Amino acid sequence: MQILDGKKAAQAIRDELKIEVAQLNAEGKKIPHLAAVLVGNNGASTTYVAAKVKACEEVGFKSTLIHYEDTISETKLLDKIREMNNDPDIDGILVQLPLPKHFSDEEVINAIDPDKDVDGFHAINVGNMVQGLPTYVPATPHGIMLLLEHYKIDTQGKHAVVLGRSNIVGRPVSILLSGNTNPGNCTVTLCHSRTQNIASFCRQADIIVAALGKPEFVTADMVKEGAIVIDVGITRVEDSSRKSGFRLKGDVDFENVAPRCSWITPVPGGVGPMTIAALMKNTFRSCLQKN
Asked if residue 146 binds ligand GUN (CB under 6 A), the reply is no
d(CA 234, CA 214): 9
* 3 state DSSP class of 66: strand
* 234, 248 contact by CB (below 8 A): yes
Q: Does 96 bind ligand GUN (CB under 6 A)?
A: yes
CB of 120 to ligand GUN, least distance (A): 9
Is residue 140 at the binding interface for ligand GUN, with CB under 6 A as the rule? Answer: yes
Of 107 and 154, nearer to ligand GUN (C-beta) is 107
CB 189 within 8 A of CB 206: no
Q: In what order do the strands lie in the sheet containing 92-95? A: 62-68, 33-39, 92-95
Choose which of 94, 147, 208, 229 interacts with ligand GUN (CB under 6 A): 94
Size, binding site for ligand GUN by CB under 6 A: 9
Neighbour count for residue 241 (Cβ, 10 Å) = 6
Q: Calculate the alpha carbon distances from 84 to 51, 91, 149, 233, 283 in Å.
A: 21, 9, 33, 32, 14
The nearer residue to ligand GUN, 95 or 227, going by C-beta atoms, is 95
Answer yes or no whether residue 168 interacts with ligand GUN by CB under 6 A. Answer: yes
Is 99 an interacting residue with respect to ligand GUN (CB under 6 A)?
Answer: no
Does residue 137 interact with ligand GUN by CB under 6 A?
Answer: no
Torsions phi, psi of 74, nearest 5? -65, -35
Report d(CA 110, CA 31) in Å as an integer: 25
Output the smallest distance, CB 157 to ligand GUN, in A. 29
DSSP-derived letter for residue 134 is S
Is 224 marked active-site?
no
Tell me which of 5, 80, 91, 96 is the catalytic residue: 96
- Exactly one of 97, 161, 162, 208 binds ligand GUN (CB under 6 A); that residue is 97
Clarify whether 117 is annotated catalytic: no
Told to judge if 119 belongs to the known catalytic residues of this protein, a careful annotator would answer yes
Residues that bind ligand GUN (CB under 6 A): 94-97, 119, 139-140, 168, 275
The set of catalytic residues is: 52, 96, 119
